[in-house]
Amino acid sequence: MFSSSQFDATSAFAGGGFSFTQQTQPTDSTPSPAKSRETQGLVPVTVKQISEASQSGDEKSNFVINGVDVANVTVVGMVFEKVGRNTDVAFILDDGTGRMKCRRWMNENFDSIEMEEILDGMYVRVNGHLKSFQGAKQLVAFSVRPVTNFDEVTFHFIDCIHNHLQTKSQGEGLTPTQPQLVDTSLSTPMRNGSNGSQTAPSSQLSGQFSIDGLKSCDQLVLDYLQQPSSIGQEKGIHRDELSRQLKFPVEKIMESIRSLEEEGLIYSTIDEFHYKSTASG
């Protein structure tokens, strides 16, 4: 699966009432709050995030992103200025948020074989270690793989956002107002039923993460109806459109519509299938 985040048993969760039996991914859960994040795995980040990362100590120490030690990262972007030497191959990775230097040491045959395939202008996924060299941040890559299915690009940025939210909520500790955030990582099997897009075989991305999971269906329906384009439509939005756009089954949409209507947040217009938000936008 594309999942790259690890669930770490920090004290932030200990009192939160979330039992670890709900975990769906196997984790090497450390019994005590682990300060060392070496077990974190590859953290999906954008070059912008890397540029803003600070270092906890001297050049040899770990980088800190979002208050969390980060050593190994995964980045997706385009290769430019590839320069191959006997000892190493260097290139610039541009992911749209910034450009950074990457270097791949030619330790084994596999390294040179893999890098030979990589050309300027190609989209690649780079997995590597963040390093500081003469004041500049660099990525020492141990894996550079061309992207063949471009949904991977979309997925990567969603992954970065997901990871960002996860570390943020871990840092702040869980509050009762954030149950939906943690739902995303803990209770994915339960959400599968309600989110139609997860069962679609055509999308590899649907594995464990969906942006929709961050908000309830009610909130999504309301958000959609409060968009300027929806408000501009006199006769409102048909519930089929909501179902299509938000990728929820019509029954779920109707449930949300009913509760929103009861709250007085939306109202039906020309018939019981069209709805508008009561807010003027």
Partner 1 sequence: MDTSSPSVFVNAELLRMHVGKKVRAVVHVIQSDGEITTGKSTDEQQLIVKGLPHVSLMSYVEVIGIAESDQSIRAETWTNFGNTFDTQSYNQVCQLANGEFKGLFL
CA distance 225 to 210: 20
A 10 A CB-CB count for 127 gives 16
Ranges within 155-194 binding partner 1 (CB under 8 A)? 155, 157-158, 160-161, 164
Of residues 94-123, which lie at the interface with partner 1 (CB under 8 A)? 96-101, 121, 123
Q: Whose Cβ is closer to partner 1: residue 172's or residue 263's?
A: 172
- Residues paired with residue 124 on neighbouring β-strands, in sequence order: 77, 146
Sheet containing 54-55: order of strands: 54-55, 63-65, 68-70
Region near partner 1 per CB under 8 A, out of 1-9, 11-19, 203-211, 230-238: 203-211
DSSP state for residue 15 in the 8-state scheme? T
Q: Does residue number 47 form part of the binding site for partner 1 (CB under 8 A)?
A: yes
40 CB contacts (<8 Å, ≥6 apart)?
6, 8, 68, 69, 70, 71, 72
Half-sphere exposure of 204 (CA within 13 A, CB side): 12
Binding test (CB under 8 A) with partner 1, winner from 247, 250, 261, 274: 247
Could you count the other beta carbons within 10 Å of the beta carbon of residue 188? 21
Nearest residue (CB) to partner 1, 49 versus 74? 49
Number of residues that bind partner 1 (CB under 8 A): 35
Q: In the set 202, 264, 271, 280, which binds partner 1 (CB under 8 A)?
A: 202
CB of 47 to partner 1, least distance (A): 7
Minimum Å gap between C-beta 130 and partner 1 is: 11
Contact positions vs partner 1 (CB under 8 A): 46-51, 78, 96-101, 121, 123, 136-137, 149-151, 153-155, 157-158, 160-161, 164, 197, 202-203, 205, 211, 229, 247
